[in-house]
Structure 1
Amino acid sequence: MPEALWISFAFVLGLTVKAIGLPPLVGYLAAGFVLSGLSAATGLAIEATNVLEHIAHLGVLLLLFTVGLKLKLRSIISPEVIGGSLLHFGITCAVFTPGLYLLMELTWQTAFLLAIALSFSSTVLVAKVLETKRELRAFHGRVAIGILIMQDLIALVVMSLAAGQTPSQWALVVFGLPLLRPLLFRLLDASGHDELLVLLGLLLALVLGGLGFEAVGLSSELGALVLGAMLANHPRAQELAKSLWSVKEMFLVGFFLQIGIGGLPDGDALLFAAVALLVVPLKGVLFFFLLLAFRLRSRSSFLSALSLTNYSEFGLIVASVALPEWLVPLAITVALSFVVSAPVNRLSHAVYERFSARLARFESQRRHPDEQPISLGNTRLLVMGMGRTGSAAYDQLAHEEPLIKALDSDPAKVEKHQKEGRNVVFGDAEDISFWQGLHMPAVEAVILAMGDIEGKLIAARNLRKKGFTGYIVAHTLYADEAERIREAGADEAYLTMSETGVALASQVLHRNRQAPPPMENANA
């Protein structure tokens, strides 16, 4: 039974690489290659069946959907994303095409299509790595994801042209999707917190986004991403992402297994993959200098570029349509780039710190607006996270303390609060560079009201690292999370539901004290 072998090898090798400090996905890739070698050595029929291919595809769709749930389109549509992605694509194709043509004696068309396939970076790997490090919402994470989305759109155009197909006339219906947002918001509100919420996520990612976009001649991957992005501004978007986490992780194991099980390469394929692997650092170098040209700091440019220094599964999709004879060499190339890129990115912050002095020399004197240092001036009270809890805390405190300010990582939410008269500025507590540029000389107390436990932990640790000795208070749903927040440096972490119960009881007691005593029954 091949399914039993897939699961067994994936678990054993995933656990093995995790024990030595590597991401489990490296083990899943290794498991695929081991199974492929075992099949070749023993004659056992261990191959990527339709079931595994379908599971792998579902995993990719769910990953892109959850990435979409965390995307704010306003932060993606920016010069560094659009300009950086288009310039990188153009320069890469201009350099790789003649090189492949001359060195490998290919036709110009084949060399050009190969150059296109090698120009993309992996949406799956980058999103997975950034998500694992809790950096999807950090500035460099948003830049990397934005560039990947642009690359995916370019890949979709290339695939359509190479296949001689164009989207159907019904594809124009996609432009009307924003009109469905109120309905989707209502469905999300009505789905509760249990299995219906999971089913809604699967419906949107796989049915409406996946099959729906395929039905009109568009990419299912793009559909899943778009449907997720449509819900990104809903207050329960992160809850939906968390509810899909286990399902997505399980299906993504199939994606990484599928790459390895695809078959062992011959000598020429291995040579091609080895040369391509030696060249892949040039992708990162080009990204680094292009992002510097758009006024990003060296740190953000380096972290974004390093995460994009790999080859893409979209290159395999392009090859399956336009260059089927190159599918195996490209699969090995992509897999090897994953094996190298995943552990390197895990050490990205340490690597930058080691070379920061040299890299900083390339910075522009002008800073990107999102990377300007933040000074809180004479602010005495700071609220971090302006969702429902943070907004309520801000409004209550603002009546008594005029020197109050709030931070939030969502530019759209910041703009909304500013229009409503609140003193809110953009700041992402999960972005290390934010803490490096934060000045808070007069702050006496900080409220951590972010929805994500990791954000609260990072904020508490960095506040104490900056030497802040004032009062830090947070809220959470679970007792174990409250203990972690206190250990990170907070003075107190209140349990949201417990405090809600205390507040309700206080209201009842307050009312009873004010109400007149009930009159005794005259007939008693």
Structure 2
Amino acid sequence: MLFTVWIGVAFLAGLAVSRAGLPPLVGFLLAGFGLRAAGVPPDGALDLIGELGVLLLLFVVGLKIRAGQLLRAEVLATAGLQFLLSATLCWLAALLLGLPGPAALLLGAAAAFSSTVIAAKILESRRELRAFHGRVTIGILIVQDLLAVGVLALLGAEQPSPAAALLLLLPLLRPLLLRLLDGIGHGELLVLYGVVLALAIGGYGFQVVGLSPELGALLLGALLAGHPKSKELADSLWSVKEFLLVGFFLGIGLQAVPDAATLLAALALVGLLWFKAAIVFLLLLWFGLRPRTAFMAAVTLSSYSEFGLIVIQAAVERQLLDGDWLVLSATAVAMSFALAAPLSRHAHALYRRYAQWLDRFENAARIHPDDQPLSLGDAAFVIAGMGRIGTAAYDCLQARGARVVGLDNDPAKLAAHEAARRRVVFADAEDPGFWQRLDARPVRAVLLALPDLDAKTLAAEQLRAAGFQGLITAVHTHSDEVPRIRAAGADASFDNAAEAGIGFATDTWQKLAREEPASPG
């Protein structure tokens, strides 16, 4: 019965906030607060559901990352320096409040972490996990997770066992895991395989040896990254993950009902997030990232972490902090989640609004190689998004003798297209700076084959804002997307399923015509 109440209240709250233009997760958080205020206590079953959702989310994130892209200076140094600077600022603030040194240090460390869950959820919903700023953000979060494990180990809360060293052998299992992935088909076994890897091996396996189960789920997913079926596996887990994550956000809201003083203190802590974002922004600029990339990463990292809650809880259990700090921390984390969701949703619009001011900070002398727009040469047709639809469009135009270039922000796709002798360059189609710096005079048409509606509309708007007068076409999945695409500046939008059906029927007709000289009809 109680489970039915949870789900019903969560649905109504999610529906209400979505009608107000906010992400449903904000409604789930508010539902948790409302249930707690109504006298519903935290429940272990709901916590378990939420934990499973988090593990599946991080496993899916792992499926979309490349380990080699994380071991870079802009990731490792930014994560380390941001942790030190943020922790130091919060430590000094805690000392000014009269806290003892060790307690202040723990609060500073907890406040320095950003939420892996909320950042991964935001990036996945915007389909930006493989964008340059998405890869940098996830890399920073992984380093933060490792630092959190270290802090918990120092507290004696999560002391890794000697058996944890065996996890260094995990990469040796990759060939076996990939062979299993190849052989399990496309149905329910594929879903179950992902669940077993994320929850049993990645989650429980890492927990047994004293390491973070969240880190384990993410690393298990990373072992399968790059496999042709990794996207299918991620898609198959999507609905399960989304449902289970409702439990996580409800559970955060059910932690406690804050009083007025706690709410004010939590609001003050949320205000400090601007300092954390500024530190990330400036550090990434120092390492050569362009203002837009640094801004998007900083916004996505503007939250407090569920790991921070674990650190505070461990400190309370060891009587290093008063129990009121746990209530305050839970409230601040929930508020930061509620702020991060709409803030990140409008991050592109915010950057466009303040781009003229933010671009003054660009370190033009040392722009990162992955962040530089490239010349498209004499291409007459530009295809943004080189997935299956974009690739088919590229091949069709090339077969007609057109000069075509593709754009994509996934290095793995670039390598595959290069092997197939297609001309595809690394570019973020949502980057206003890319379209502004592009010499589009030779371009006759831009085809927007991007999967995300916001990405298509942003690209169309930026093209028109940059003065492009040629043809802009796009594809859509749902008919209600067409008005937004047209309003953004596109000349036409085509239903990708309908176009696939037309192509399917045309090819069948032509094949029959070749085999039977008489009319196929």
TM-score band (shorter)? 0.7 to 0.9
- Once the two structures are TM-superposed, the CA of residue 79 in structure 1 deviates from its matched residue by 2.2
1:45-444 equivalence runs, <5 A:
46-103=40-97, 105-163=98-156, 165-265=158-258, 269-270=262-263, 272-324=265-317, 325=323, 326-366=325-365, 367-386=367-386, 401=401, 403-418=403-418, 421-444=421-444
CA, structure 1 residues 380+388, in 2 after alignment: closer, same or farther (shift >3 Å)?
same
- Once the two structures are TM-superposed, the CA of residue 357 in structure 1 deviates from its matched residue by 2.4
CA, structure 1 residues 161+329, in 2 after alignment: closer, same or farther (shift >3 Å)?
same
Structure 1: gaps of 5 or more residues: 40-45, 515-524
Q: Aligned AA for 2:25?
A: L
8 A Cα contact 1:383 1:447, kept in partner: yes
What secondary structure is seen at the aligned counterpart in 2 of 1:361?
A: helix
Over the residues paired in the alignment, what is the CA RMSD in angstroms?
3.2
Distance of 1:180 and 1:19 partners within structure 2 = 46
Residue of structure 2 equivalent to 1:42: none
- Once the two structures are TM-superposed, the CA of residue 53 in structure 1 deviates from its matched residue by 0.7
Matched, 1:37 2:37: yes
Matched, 1:510 2:508: no
Distance of 1:126 and 1:464 partners within structure 2 = 30
8 A Cα contact 2:284 2:294, kept in partner: yes
Matched, 1:25 2:25: yes
What secondary structure is seen at the aligned counterpart in 2 of 1:407?
A: strand
Distance of 2:327 and 2:444 partners within structure 1 = 60
- Once the two structures are TM-superposed, the CA of residue 265 in structure 1 deviates from its matched residue by 3.5
Q: Aligned AA for 1:345?
A: S
8 A Cα contact 2:75 2:136, kept in partner: yes
**TM-score under structure 1 normalisation?**
0.85
- Once the two structures are TM-superposed, the CA of residue 483 in structure 1 deviates from its matched residue by 7.1
What secondary structure is seen at the aligned counterpart in 2 of 1:375?
A: coil
Distance of 1:486 and 1:269 partners within structure 2 = 44
Distance of 2:455 and 2:162 partners within structure 1 = 44
8 A Cα contact 2:277 2:301, kept in partner: yes
Q: Aligned AA for 2:329?
A: L
Distance of 1:506 and 1:237 partners within structure 2 = 34
Distance of 1:12 and 1:280 partners within structure 2 = 30
- Once the two structures are TM-superposed, the CA of residue 473 in structure 1 deviates from its matched residue by 7.5
Residue of structure 1 equivalent to 2:320: none
Distance of 1:286 and 1:23 partners within structure 2 = 27
**TM-score under structure 2 normalisation?**
0.85
Identity %: 46
- Once the two structures are TM-superposed, the CA of residue 106 in structure 1 deviates from its matched residue by 2.4
Distance of 2:315 and 2:462 partners within structure 1 = 50
Q: Deviations over 1:338-377 (max 9, x none)?
A: 2233223333233333333222222222322222222212
What secondary structure is seen at the aligned counterpart in 2 of 1:202?
A: helix
Greater Rg by CA: 1
**Which one is further off, 390-399 or 174-183?**
390-399
What secondary structure is seen at the aligned counterpart in 1 of 2:180?
A: helix
Distance of 1:102 and 1:463 partners within structure 2 = 51
CA, structure 1 residues 247+431, in 2 after alignment: closer, same or farther (shift >3 Å)?
farther
8 A Cα contact 1:460 1:485, kept in partner: no
- Once the two structures are TM-superposed, the CA of residue 52 in structure 1 deviates from its matched residue by 0.4
- Once the two structures are TM-superposed, the CA of residue 76 in structure 1 deviates from its matched residue by 3.1
Distance of 1:496 and 1:53 partners within structure 2 = 43
CA, structure 1 residues 15+152, in 2 after alignment: closer, same or farther (shift >3 Å)?
same
Residue of structure 1 equivalent to 2:6: 6
CA, structure 1 residues 52+189, in 2 after alignment: closer, same or farther (shift >3 Å)?
same
- Once the two structures are TM-superposed, the CA of residue 7 in structure 1 deviates from its matched residue by 1.8
Q: Deviations over 1:126-173 (max 9, x none)?
A: 222233333333333332222222211211121122126543333233
Q: Aligned AA for 2:146?
A: L
CA, structure 1 residues 272+382, in 2 after alignment: closer, same or farther (shift >3 Å)?
closer
- Once the two structures are TM-superposed, the CA of residue 504 in structure 1 deviates from its matched residue by 4.7
Q: Aligned AA for 1:17?
A: V
CA, structure 1 residues 114+491, in 2 after alignment: closer, same or farther (shift >3 Å)?
closer
Q: Aligned AA for 1:145?
A: I
8 A Cα contact 1:377 1:441, kept in partner: no
Q: Aligned AA for 1:363?
A: E
8 A Cα contact 2:184 2:190, kept in partner: yes
Q: Aligned AA for 2:92?
A: P
- Once the two structures are TM-superposed, the CA of residue 480 in structure 1 deviates from its matched residue by 5.5
Residue of structure 2 equivalent to 1:469: 470
Q: Aligned AA for 1:109?
A: P
Distance of 1:512 and 1:168 partners within structure 2 = 72
CA, structure 1 residues 295+395, in 2 after alignment: closer, same or farther (shift >3 Å)?
same
CA, structure 1 residues 399+369, in 2 after alignment: closer, same or farther (shift >3 Å)?
same
Distance of 1:412 and 1:113 partners within structure 2 = 40
- Once the two structures are TM-superposed, the CA of residue 89 in structure 1 deviates from its matched residue by 0.6
Distance of 2:17 and 2:392 partners within structure 1 = 45
Q: Deviations over 1:269-298 (max 9, x none)?
A: 445424322322211122222222122222
**Which one is further off, 206-215 or 495-504?**
495-504
- Once the two structures are TM-superposed, the CA of residue 416 in structure 1 deviates from its matched residue by 4.8
Distance of 2:395 and 2:332 partners within structure 1 = 55
- Once the two structures are TM-superposed, the CA of residue 255 in structure 1 deviates from its matched residue by 0.8
Q: Deviations over 1:14-46 (max 9, x none)?
A: 22222222222122111111111111xxxxxx2
Matched, 1:496 2:500: yes
- Once the two structures are TM-superposed, the CA of residue 498 in structure 1 deviates from its matched residue by 5.3
Q: Aligned AA for 1:71?
A: I
- Once the two structures are TM-superposed, the CA of residue 222 in structure 1 deviates from its matched residue by 0.7
